[in-house]
Amino acid sequence: MVIELDGDRVDANELVERTQAEEEDDSTSDEDTTDNDTDNDQYTSDGDDPDTDDEEISNVIVIDGSENDTVSQYVLTVSGELERSEDYTSIANKGMAWDALPSNVSEDKAIGVIGQGVDGYRYSGNVVSVEVRGDATLHIDRR
């Protein structure tokens, strides 16, 4: 399993440390909050108001099985909200039968299986735990 955070390879412990530290830094002052709102405006691709709930769920986590022919299972848990993102989800080469299975997504947890597909989620808060069994690649982008 490969874990990436903002384009850098990290191990599971570093992932937790870096995402928790960023949340603490974000809440240190009113100035920081204003700066973060401005930064989020650049990621608004569909013209949504930055003050809507969707902006709070702006971080992205992707499980990518498109580079191999094996089946991978995954479980993701976040401290905030989690929702499946069709913008970051796809199936390569018509995929495998596993790719047609729906993921089980609750408010803060996703459980899924992918073959040659890519499952993407948007989330708020921090990544609490990630378990990927198989050869899928994990990408995390905090915005």
CA distances in angstroms from 8 to 11, 18, 64, listed in the order given: 10, 11, 16
Q: Which residue has the higher pLDDT, 105 or 42?
A: 105
The string of pLDDT tens digits covering residues 116-135 is 899 999 999 999 999 999 99
pTM (predicted TM-score) = 0.61
**Closest by alpha carbon to 68, among 139, 140, 1, 141?**
1
Q: What are phi and psi of 19, to 5 degrees?
A: -75, -35
3-class secondary structure, 62 = strand
3-class secondary structure, 6 = coil
